[in-house]
C-alpha cells in the first residue's frame, strides 16, 4: 500500500505528471473511438444506400467515385 | 512542358520564394523574436531602455546566489561568461533554480546597473541523465559545463 | 500507372493487409513504452520525476511535425499529379496531427510549470508550435468552407504547402533565437544528449505513436472513401428519382 502511494506521489510533482498522462490517454483514445464510430456509421450508411439502390453496380461505382 | 511538370515547377518555385521571404522577415524581426537578451546585449546595446521591462537570460554565476534573509529578496548574478548582471528578486523561484544553471529573468534595469526582477524562470539544458550518471561524470571530471548561456 | 492505387477496392485490400501490422505493434509498443516511462526509467539528475512527461511530450511533438510533413507532401501530390487518394490522405491526417499538437502543447505546459516556473511563454519554439496547431485547424476549416468539395480540397492543400515553411522554423527555432525552451536533445549533430536508459523508452514511445498514426490514418481514409461513396450514391438516387 505504501509502495503504491509512493508511486502515485512521484517526487512531489505527481499532479503534473498524472494530468499529462491522463490528457494524452483521453485525447489519443478519444480520437480512436471517434474514428471507429465514424467508420461504423458511414459503413452502415453505405450499406443502407446499397440495399436501396435498384441496380447493383459495385465495381462501376467504385471507379467512378475514385476519379471524381 | 506537360501540365503536371508545370504545376510541380510552380509549387517548387512558390516554396522557394516563400522560404526566402520568410527568412528575410524573420531576420528583420530578430530582435522581436528573441525571448531574452544576454548580459552582453544589455551591457553593449545601449538602446535597451531602463524604464521598460526586458528579459535577461544566462547562467546563475557560481557562488553568487544569496538566499533571502529579512527582506525576502533573492540576490544572484546572471552571466554569459563575458558580462555579468546583478539581479535582485522578491518572490518564489522555480525548483530547479541552481547556481551554474540557466535562468531567464524579467524585470527592469535600474540606473545603477542593478536589475530588479519581477519574474524568474529556470531554463534547463538539453541533457537528460540519471543522478548516478551525473555524479559519476562529475567525479571523473568529464562534466562539461554548457558552453554558451543560450 | 499511379491511378491504379486509386481504386478503392485495391486500397481497401491493401489497408486490410497493413492494418494488423500497424495496430497491434502500436498497442504493444505504447504499453511497453508506458511501463518503462512510468515504472522502469530513472529520474533525471535535475528535473527528478517530471522528466517522465518527456516520454509523451517529445513523441507528440515529433508526430505533430511528421504528420504535418506528410500532409504537406500529400497536398502537393494532390495538386500536381491529381492523385485522388492524396487529398484524402491529407484530410484524414489533419485531425490526428491536430490532436498530437494539442497533446504536445498541453503536456509541455504541464512540464513547464513545475520546471521553468511558468505554464506558457511567447518564445519562438512555443509560439511556432501554437501556429502549427492553428495551421491544422485552418486546414480542416478551409476544407469544409466551400460548397464544392474539390475547391475546398485545393484551397486547403495550398494552405498546407504554404504552412510547411513553419516546420523547419519549429525545428530550428531553439538554435536561431534565444528561447526558454532548451535546444534539441535527440536529433542533433553531436548525437543525443539523453542517457540511454531514457532514450530507449523515448524511442519505443515514438515508434508506437508513429504506428498508431499509420493505423488511424488508414482507418480514417477508409471512412472518408466510404463517405464519398455514400455521397455519390445518394446523389445518383436523387437523380434517378427526379428522372422517374
- In the prediction, which pLDDT does A65 show? 47
Question: Residues of C with CB below 8 A from A36's CB?
Answer: 219
Computed over every residue of chain C, the mean pLDDT equals 92
Residue C104 has pLDDT above 90, yes or no: yes
Poorest-pLDDT segment among B7-21, C91-105, C151-165, C211-225: B7-21
Start-to-end CA span in chain A (Å) = 62
Could you tell me the residue ranges of all domains in chain C? 29-40+51-174+194-243
Whether C27 has its CB under 8 Å from any CB of chain A: the answer is no
State whether B128 and C184 contact (CB < 8 Å).
no
Cβ-nearest to C182 among B8, B124, B132: B124
| Chain B residues close to C78, C-beta within 8 Å | none
Per residue, what are the HEC states of chain B? Answer: CCHHHHHHHHHHHHHHHHHHHHHHHHHHCHHHHCCCECHHHHHHCCCCCCCCCEEEEEEECCCCCECCCCCCEEEEEEECCCCEEEEEEECCCCCCCCCCCEEEEEEEECCCCCEEEEEEEEECCCCECCHHHHHHHHHHCCCCCCCCCC
The CATH number assigned to the domain with range B35-140 reads 2.40.50.140
pLDDT tens column, C31-80 = 999 999 999 899 998 888 999 999 999 999 999 999 999 999 999 999 99
Smallest CA–CA distance from C237 into chain A, residue: A53
Amino acid A7: pLDDT: 57
B132 to chain C: closest CA residue: C45
CB distance B123–C116 less than 8 Å?
A: yes
Chain B neighbors of C180, CB-CB under 8 A:
35-36, 57, 104, 121, 123
Average pLDDT over residues A25-36: 97
Could you read off the pLDDT of B110-132 as tens digits, one per residue? Answer: 878 788 999 999 998 888 999 88
Cβ–Cβ of C232/A65 closer than 8 Å? yes
CA distance C147 to chain B (A): 25
Cα separation, C185 vs C191, whole angstroms: 8
8 Å CB contact of A61 and C232: yes
A-facing residues of C in 41-80 (CB < 8 A) are 43, 48-50, 52-53, 56-57, 60
| Higher pLDDT pick, B68 / B134 | B134
Percent of the residues in chain B that have a pLDDT greater than 70, as a whole number = 90
- Alpha carbon distance B125, B81 (integer Å): 16
* Per-domain boundaries in chain B: 1-33, 35-140
CB neighbours of A12 closer than 8 A, spacing ≥ 6?
A: C48
Touching subunits for chain A (3+ Cβ pairs under 8 A): C
Is ipTM strictly over 0.85? yes
Amino acid at each position: 500500500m505504501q509502495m503504491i502511494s509512493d508511486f502515485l506521489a512521484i517526487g512531489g510533482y505527481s499532479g503534473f505528471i498524472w494530468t499529462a498522462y491522463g490528457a494524452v490517454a483521453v485525447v489519443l483514445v478519444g480520437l480512436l473511438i471517434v474514428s471507429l464510430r465514424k467508420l461504423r456509421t458511414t459503413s452502415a450508411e453505405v450499406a443502407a444506400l446499397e440495399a436501396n439502390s435498384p441496380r447493383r453496380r459495385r465495381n462501376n461505382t467504385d471507379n467512378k467515385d475514385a476519379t471524381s | 512542358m506537360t501540365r503536371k511538370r508545370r504545376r510541380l515547377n510552380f509549387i517548387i518555385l512558390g516554396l522557394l520564394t516563400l522560404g526566402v521571404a520568410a527568412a528575410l522577415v524573420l531576420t528583420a524581426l530578430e530582435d522581436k523574436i528573441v525571448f531574452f537578451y544576454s548580459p552582453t546585449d544589455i551591457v553593449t546595446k545601449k538602446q535597451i531602455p531602463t524604464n521598460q521591462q526586458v528579459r535577461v537570460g544566462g547562467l546563475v554565476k557560481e557562488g553568487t546566489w544569496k538566499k533571502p534573509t529579512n527582506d525576502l529578496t533573492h540576490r544572484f548574478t546572471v552571466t554569459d561568461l563575458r558580462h555579468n548582471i546583478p539581479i535582485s528578486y522578491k518572490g518564489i523561484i522555480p525548483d530547479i533554480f541552481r547556481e551554474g544553471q540557466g535562468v531567464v529573468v524579467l524585470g527592469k534595469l535600474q540606473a545603477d546597473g542593478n536589475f530588479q526582477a519581477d519574474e524568474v524562470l529556470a531554463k534547463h539544458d538539453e541533457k537528460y541523465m540519471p543522478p548516478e550518471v551525473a555524479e559519476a561524470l562529475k567525479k571523473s571530471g568529464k562534466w562539461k559545463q554548457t558552453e554558451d548561456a543560450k | 500507372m499511379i491511378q491504379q492505387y486509386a481504386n478503392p477496392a485495391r486500397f481497401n485490400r491493401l489497408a486490410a493487409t497493413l492494418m494488423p501490422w500497424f495496430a497491434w505493434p502500436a498497442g504493444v509498443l505504447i504499453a511497453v513504452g508506458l511501463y518503462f516511462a512510468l515504472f522502469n526509467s530513472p529520474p533525471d539528475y535535475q528535473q527528478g520525476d517530471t522528466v517522465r512527461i518527456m516520454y509523451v511530450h517529445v513523441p507528440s511533438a515529433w508526430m505533430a511535425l511528421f504528420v504535418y510533413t506528410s500532409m504537406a507532401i500529400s497536398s502537393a501530390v494532390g495538386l500536381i499529379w491529381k492523385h485522388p487518394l492524396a487529398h484524402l490522405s491529407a484530410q484524414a491526417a489533419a485531425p490526428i496531427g491536430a490532436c498530437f499538437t494539442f497533446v504536445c502543447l498541453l503536456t509541455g505546459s504541464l512540464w513547464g510549470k513545475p520546471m521553468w516556473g511558468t505554464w506558457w511563454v511567447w518564445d519562438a519554439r512555443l509560439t511556432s508550435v501554437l501556429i502549427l496547431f492553428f495551421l491544422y485547424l485552418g486546414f480542416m476549416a478551409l476544407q469544409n468552407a466551400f460548397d464544392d468539395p474539390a475547391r475546398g480540397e485545393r484551397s486547403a492543400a495550398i494552405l498546407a504547402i504554404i504552412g510547411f515553411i513553419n516546420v523547419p522554423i519549429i525545428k530550428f527555432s531553439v538554435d536561431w533565437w534565444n528561447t526558454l525552451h532548451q535546444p534539441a536533445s535527440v536529433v542533433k549533430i553531436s548525437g543525443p544528449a539523453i542517457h540511454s536508459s531514457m532514450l530507449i523508452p523515448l524511442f519505443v514511445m515514438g515508434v508506437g505513436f508513429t504506428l498508431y498514426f499509420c493505423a488511424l490514418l488508414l482507418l480514417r481514409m477508409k471512412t472518408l472513401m466510404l463517405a464519398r461513396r455514400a455521397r455519390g450514391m445518394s446523389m445518383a438516387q436523387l437523380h434517378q428519382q427526379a428522372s422517374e
